[in-house]
């Protein structure tokens, strides 16, 4: 089965919208979320890059797993720069669903295996 990136565009939007909404809600109360719109945009670029690479890795488990690792490590670094405030529970769950779902469609993982756990800090 081929990876259908359109299947993950809505999920990506939900993740990013959640980050924006939280940031805006805090700003209305005079608080700082610890991250900027630019960092949300960077998260989007990481997701998009992952989806592009996982599509290209179709059926290649080694390349698919490398794409997962690269995305997770990039998200770790971004979240660390944001004082670990960017990726909260809802975003973590959404990112795992997106990464693992796209990877499963690409044949990079099997079953319910969550290989992000070995690198994930969020």
Tens-binned pLDDT, residue by residue, of the chain (122 aa): 456 667 789 999 999 999 999 999 999 999 999 999 999 999 999 999 999 999 999 889 999 999 999 999 999 999 999 999 999 999 999 999 999 999 998 888 876 779 999 999 99
Residue 109's pLDDT is: 83
Nearest CA to 22 among 38, 35, 9, 41? 35
Q: Residue 110: which domain range? A: 6-118
Task: Report the predicted TM-score, pTM, of the whole model to 2 decimal places.
Answer: 0.92
Is residue 48, in this structure, part of any structural domain at all?
yes
Domains in the chain, number: 1
What are the structure tokens assigned to 92, written together? 């973590």
DSSP structure class, residue 120: -
Is residue 24, in this structure, part of any structural domain at all?
yes
Cβ contacts of residue 121 below 8 Å, gap of 6+?
Answer: 76, 79, 80, 84
Is residue 1, in this structure, part of any structural domain at all?
no
């Amino acid at each position: 089965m081929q990876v259908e990136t359109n299947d993950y565009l809505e999920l990506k939007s939900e993740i990013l919208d959640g980050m924006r909404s939280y940031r805006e809600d805090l700003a209305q109360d005079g608080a700082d979320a610890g991250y900027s719109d630019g960092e949300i945009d960077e998260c989007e670029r990481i997701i998009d890059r992952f989806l592009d690479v996982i599509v290209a890795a179709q059926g290649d488990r080694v390349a698919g797993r490398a794409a997962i690792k690269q995305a997770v490590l990039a998200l770790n670094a971004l979240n660390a720069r944001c004082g670990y405030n960017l990726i909260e529970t809802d975003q973590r769950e959404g990112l795992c669903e997106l990464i693992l779902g796209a990877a499963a469609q690409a044949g990079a993982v099997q079953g319910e295996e969550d290989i992000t756990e070995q690198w994930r800090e969020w």
